[in-house]
Amino acid sequence: MCPTSPGRTTAIRPSRNDGDRVIIEPHSTFGTAGHRKGGTSMSTNPYAVPPHEQPAVPEPYLQPRQSGRTVPRVISGLGGVLLTPVGLGLTIYGGSRLQRGFSQSLSVGEDPLGVILLVLGGLLLLGVALLGALSGLGPAAGGLLWGVLPGLAFILSPRDVMSFIYDIGGSELGVGLATWLVMGALVGSGFLLIGAGLVGTLSRRRSDRV
């Protein structure tokens, strides 16, 4: 045997008819160096993937189109603006009745209506805070309009605010609202509702990113 090219070996054997003539036959199409016929190199890596078996490139992920946010914002905004004063009014009025009964008999059990109004007002405020799951606009608007702004107005002009409260709220509601304003409970409730709206907005944006 003798090599005829870097990638090809040949074998020499005598002819059947003529002993002087030799026939050169190819021995292998691949040499020991791993060259393909014609001089083209071939990878010797046993784990290499053939070109025709390369994995297909995945198509780009198409994000689903988000639905409109107009309806949830309108529902949350109207609920926050309309339900917040009702919830605050019931809570303040019920608490004022309980305060008057407690000052007279050192007991709050003699006025079940005050307890019912207090609980009902708290549930309405809880519902306003839960509107933040739809949109943070409702709790934020309700807390700003009916909590923070009246508190700031009382700080700037307490006499005018007190006279206005007693003119429209009567004795029990006026006393309770004045107590909430002086103690800062109304401003605190407003900031709590604003915080509930911000938490709902941030949580929804984070879930959309994920």
Q: In the chain, what are the domain boundaries? A: 74-132+139-200
Average pLDDT over residues 64-85: 85
Radius of gyration of the chain (CA): 43
The residues, ordered by sequence, that sit 6+ positions from 26 with a Cβ below 8 Å of its Cβ are 8, 9, 10, 11
- Confirm if 193 and 150 have CB atoms less than 8 A apart: no
What's the pLDDT score for residue 166? 78
Output the pTM of the full model. Answer: 0.64
**Model confidence at 63, in pLDDT bands (50, 70, 90)?**
low
The CA-based angle 178-182-188, given to 5 degrees, is: 105
What's the pLDDT score for residue 54? 54
pLDDT in tens, 128-170: 999 999 999 999 999 999 999 999 999 999 888 888 887 776 6
pLDDT in tens, 87-104: 999 999 998 888 887 777
**Residue with more model confidence, 125 or 58:** 125
